[in-house]
Chains A and B, each alone.
Chain A
Amino acid sequence: MDFARTATAQAAARDLQQSADPRMVLADRVEHLFAQMPIAIGATIVAGIFATLELQGRWYTELVWYWGAIVLAYTAAATGLLVSYRRSPTRHADAEQWLRSIGIAALANGVSWGLAGAVFFRSLADDQQVFLSFLVAGVTSIGIPIYAASWPIFAIYAAGILFPFTYVLATLGSRLFFDIALLVPVLYAVYVGIAYRLHQVFASGYRLRHAYSKLTEDYSALNQRLGQQLVELEEARRQVEASGRKLALFAERSPIAVFEFDAHGIVLSANPAAETLFGYGAAELIDRTATETLFQTMGKADIARRWRELIRSRSPMFGLRAASTRRDGAEITCEWSLTPLVNAENRVISVIVQGRDITQQLEAERMKQEFTSTLSHELRTPLTSIIGSLQLINSGVLGDIDKDVLELTSIAERNGQRLLDLINDILDVEKIESGKLTLFPEPMQLSDMVAESLTLNRGFAERFKVRLAAEGELPAVRVNADRKRLLQVMTNLLSNAAKFSPEGSTIQVGIQVEAGSARVAVNDHGPGIPEGFRGRIFGRFAQADMSYTRQKGGTGLGLSICKRLIEMMNGKIGFCDRSGGGTTFWFELPVHH
């Protein structure tokens, strides 16, 4: 158990150490090496002076002075290195380079002592030789604490001192010195071993220091983030609370009835508008089922099926119409939207049901339909009699009539027809707006339809002394369109053109086929479309000038109906000025393949 715990702790410490940045650890070690450098320099100066004074041997006397000068020069260079290291702003980033420099300095230092040992030893007296040996052993040992932060530096430093000295001892011819020469490498190995261990201890220490400081940094960042999150959480809580209050206010003041049901369809809450709508207090509505309150007239099986579907799909349901009975017995029809509320685990927690009373709206729709139907039947039936009678008279089948009478009956017939056109236009607009206009598209020859429209409207154009003509041979092209409605559009465009064309002019109708669409163009020689009218020409009750209506006839609905009809057939309609004067009205339909 203990072993396991220790092993775990060691593993944790190892992980921790590995989290330290190795570059920073190296920078620290180099820093340590330079921190030891004054000691090395001081020791070198002291030892150098002593050695220069004491090693005056039998020969090489001048050489000893030179050597002393070299040692001094070395200490000056080392001091310069130290100063420039201290001054370098990038010394931590360039730690590797500084390590190399200090390595070279250490080698030079070592070699200078090694030189002294190797060159001067032979010339010295016995006691001086003991002094030199002591000096050599001393400077080697002092290198351990100084260079311990990097064992290879100590190794080259000590090698610089000891190996020349060993060579001299081994070759001096003395058995005792030979034995010492054999022991020196052992001493060297032991020293390097110690330096190596110290190096490990230093590295480990620095690694731990960095890991720890990093841990502290992480911890404080974590703490800061935690604090920030707490602030955000508090803000979010405040926002949720505020939006909850807002929502409650919306529900309370809303003119729309809002119910909250649980997933089984039991009322959880109801807003004041819901109370007003049904005539029950919220307390009376709560705990009742959806079938008892909102959906009384729908079959139980039907509402159960829809509810299950709602809960299963979790997607809102709109426009559900249902009739209910109020507390006072009045029947109302409401339109509901049902929105399931889902929690984070995707479970339906409640269903929000919002709705409004559409009883009056439905009644208004019904009345409008009835009105339209009345307009259609009750106005057309007498018009059938009026126009029919006048047509029979004017056709002459009943015998010749006085010219003045015929003129008047013709006016009556024409205006009866105008009234009928107006009624038909109004009915068309009503049908288009209520979406009840159904088209019956069929593939057809566009040129046949255009030719037919020219035949049908020739009589009308003659009244304005205008000719209708096809522009050259009409190209054969098929479109998918409602033939009757397309004829209605053509009749509108041709009759407009006829009304506004000068007497004796010709309205030319052409077909162009281009890029998958067929364009029918009706070209007139009229006065053109007034500038101020261009924007609303396809609008309802649009007429350039009210006086035109009296003069030319028409309801001002024709072009708006044309636009809608052409759009329902996936086409486009528009107009443009003709270069020689007059206007072109055109529509385009996709070519049917």
Chain B
Amino acid sequence: MPANALNRICYVEDDEDIQRIVRMSLERVGGMTVEIVGDPMAAIARIRAFKPELVMLDWMMPGMDGPALFREMRATGDLKDLPVVFITAKASQRDLDELRAMGAAGTISKPFSPKELPDQLRAIWAALP
């Protein structure tokens, strides 16, 4: 379990409505600091600049999907140990298992409850080594 409480989160998501709901949920309900990235192609640079403690990735995005971005982060030296949580509406259990095997910290299925999302993330955070 990491020593500090979870605070800085970066969320890569193309749907603007969901961006807003997640921002409100994490900021208002969870009291966290949130950076939203709409374009997955720009995600690496924005994550590097924001220095989050945890990254949330949408699964299906135009240009580059969540798993592809995750693989790229794993291949990037300074981002490879960053905890990643997937938010997805369609992944099969096998896909999720595969992501876990690749090192994803957790998965949250859509639709999620904005009331509970901060707690779900804190639970994943607490389970980290």
Contact = CB atoms under 8 A, between A and B. Distances in A.
B66 to A, nearest CB: 13
A547 interface: no
Contacts of A380: 89-90, 110-111
A398 B89 contact: no
Interface in A347-399: 373, 376-377, 380-381, 383-385, 387-389, 391-392, 395, 397-398
Interface residues of B, number: 20
A440 interface: yes
A376 B89 CA distance: 7
6 contacts: A376-B90, A380-B89, A380-B110, A384-B110, A388-B18, A392-B24
Contacts of B15: 381, 385
Chain B interface helix/strand/loop/mixed: loop
A298 B90 CA distance: 33
Interface stretch (B1-9, B39-47, B70-78, B112-120): B112-120
Given A376-B90, A398-B28, 10 more contacts: A380-B89, A380-B111, A385-B21, A387-B111, A387-B113, A388-B18, A388-B21, A389-B17, A389-B21, A438-B93
Of all A-B residue pairs in the complex, the 9 with the closest CB atoms, nearest first, are A384-B111, A385-B17, A388-B21, A380-B89, A397-B28, A377-B90, A388-B114, A384-B110, A376-B90
B21 A392 contact: yes
A45 interface: no
B29 A397 contact: yes
B70 to A, nearest CB: 19
B24 A398 contact: yes
B22 to A, nearest CB: 8
B92 to A, nearest CB: 8
A376 B28 CA distance: 29
Interface of A: 373, 376-377, 380-381, 383-385, 387-389, 391-392, 395, 397-398, 420, 436, 438, 440
B107 interface: no
Contact of B111 (A383, A398, A436): A383
Contacts of B89: 376-377, 380-381, 384
B115 to A, nearest CB: 5
Interface of B: 15, 17-18, 21, 24-25, 28-29, 60, 89-90, 92-94, 110-115
Contacts of B17: 385, 389
Given A384-B110, A398-B28, A391 B18 contact: no
A392 B116 CA distance: 10
A388 B87 CA distance: 14
Contacts of A389: 17, 21
Contacts of B111: 380, 383-384, 387-388, 420
Nearest to A385: B17
Nearest to B30: A397
Contact of A391 (B93, B110, B115): B115
A440 B24 CA distance: 35
A392 B28 contact: yes
Nearest to B29: A397
Contacts of A392: 21, 24-25, 28-29, 114-115
A367 B21 CA distance: 33
A406 to B, nearest CB: 15
Contacts of B115: 391-392, 395, 397
Nearest to A398: B28
Given A377-B90, A398-B24, A440-B93, A384 B112 contact: yes
A398 B29 CA distance: 9
Contacts of A391: 113-115
Nearest to A439: B93
Contacts of B110: 380-381, 384
The winner among A373, A395, A436, A438 for most chain B CB atoms within 10 A is A395
